[in-house]
Amino acid sequence: MSPLPDPHTLLKKITQETRTFLDRHHINDPHMVGIHTGGSWVAQALHQALSLKQELGTLDISFYRDDYTRIGLNPQVKPSHLPFVVEDRDILLVDDVLHTGRTIRAALNELFDYGRPRSIHLIVLLDRSGRELPIQADVSGQHLSLRPDQHIKLQGPEPLQFIFSEDC
Amino acid sequence: MSPLPDPHTLLKKITQETRTFLDRHHINDPHMVGIHTGGSWVAQALHQALSLKQELGTLDISFYRDDYTRIGLNPQVKPSHLPFVVEDRDILLVDDVLHTGRTIRAALNELFDYGRPRSIHLIVLLDRSGRELPIQADVSGQHLSLRPDQHIKLQGPEPLQFIFSEDC
């Protein structure tokens, strides 16, 4: 494994690319939502760097996961917090690591339970290999090819750092 | 508008690229599903060209659309037909034109109502601009940049041809 990406370097990159993305798509009033927990850390930093007007939202997708019945009830579930109306809004959904796409599908479904957004765009710090659904980020800090037995996760809140592991 | 893409040329291209995609992802037993109606035409041709073993499925996503309550009941709704178990299968979802991504989100939700697939990959004949959700094709015949007031649709079943129109 080559050196792990530095979250703060990737944060700078996605800040710049998100700005360009919003300009190019004429999105003037973005509503940002971070996926609990790693996505929320990234969203907090990005929200601040972009000086967004709308308050930041948080999604906890535990109840929407497609393996919910397998993992059982998670006693740590934090409720989602969306401090704005979703209907007809341009949503920026933020996560730390995009992997299979299943978390994002769950997040889309939860968002749609609040209303029908005009658009949802996806921003991730790290885009790793292993997609199982046709979901892609609109902005990502870096792509990383990993084998199925290799894992990477973001540890936080501060200092943010990536943790790498391999199955034995 | 430059000359419209030729569906049969794009069909040849996605046939070849799907073959490569399946090899690269070690998918040995793909289960193909076309989205009614344009996606089904494409899926029929692709299914035959690839000589797939599993019978072809069809999804009608009318009841799963996020604007269902706006457009009301469609008297032409054809039921979905999935002649195989979805659980733990590698699904190839096929559509004619990928545009906002909302149809694909609806199709994913309908598929998950049948079971939890191992993977769903998306194959489209034409990938046009105007995405409103973070959904992307794994294989597409061509990308086409169109303005929001420009429309393209596949007419069929035979001969397949694209129809282009603009709002007045």
Q: Is the dihedral of CA B167, B146, B10, B119 positive or negative?
A: negative
Which DSSP helix (H) or strand (E) runs through A59?
strand A57-59
Q: How far is CA B145 from CA B96, B129, B142, B149, in A?
A: 16, 5, 10, 12
* pLDDT at site A124: 98
A139 vs B: CB within 8 A: no
* pLDDT at site B79: 76
Q: Answer yes or no: do A132 and B116 touch at CB < 8 A.
A: no
Q: Answer yes or no: do A120 and B133 touch at CB < 8 A.
A: yes
Amino acid letter, residue B6: D
β-pairing, A90-98 vs A31-35, is parallel
Question: Residue B38 contacts by C-beta under 8 Å, 6 or more apart in sequence?
Answer: B95, B96, B97, B153, B154, B156
**Considering the entire predicted model, what is its pTM?**
0.93
How far does the CA of residue B33 sit from the closest CA of chain A (Å)?
14
How far does the CA of residue A23 sit from the closest CA of chain B (Å)?
15
B158 vs A: CB within 8 A: no
Instruction: Provide the ipTM.
Output: 0.92
Residue B72 reports pLDDT greater than 90 = no
The pLDDT confidence band at residue B73, using thresholds 50, 70 and 90, is low
Between A123 and A1, residue with greater pLDDT: A123
- Cα-Cα-Cα-Cα dihedral of B145, B151, B155, B159, to 10°? -40
- Tokens 């972009």 found at: A50
- Tokens 């659904």 found at: A133
The pLDDT confidence band at residue A79, using thresholds 50, 70 and 90, is confident
Which residues of chain B neighbour A107 with C-beta distances below 8 Å? none
Mean pLDDT score, A76-97: 90
Question: Residue A52 contacts by C-beta under 8 Å, 6 or more apart in sequence?
Answer: A30, A32
Q: How far is CA B122 from CA A47, B32, B63, B145, in A?
A: 32, 10, 20, 19
B121 vs A: CB within 8 A: yes
The pLDDT confidence band at residue A2, using thresholds 50, 70 and 90, is confident
Which residues of chain B neighbour A93 with C-beta distances below 8 Å? 134
pLDDT tens-digit profile of B31-55? 999 999 999 999 999 999 999 999 9
* pLDDT at site B136: 98
**Fold for the domain defined by A7-166:** Rossmann fold (3.40.50)
**Contact between residue B106 and residue B63 where contact means Cβ atoms under 8 Å apart:** no
B88 vs A: CB within 8 A: no
* pLDDT at site A77: 56
Mean pLDDT score, A5-28: 97
* pLDDT at site A73: 54
pLDDT tens-digit profile of B98-151? 999 999 999 999 999 999 999 999 999 999 999 999 999 999 999 999 999 999
Count A/B contacts: CB-CB distance under 8 Å: 48
* pLDDT at site A1: 63
Residue B76 reports pLDDT greater than 90 = no
- Tokens 């870096």 found at: A142
Amino acid letter, residue B148: P
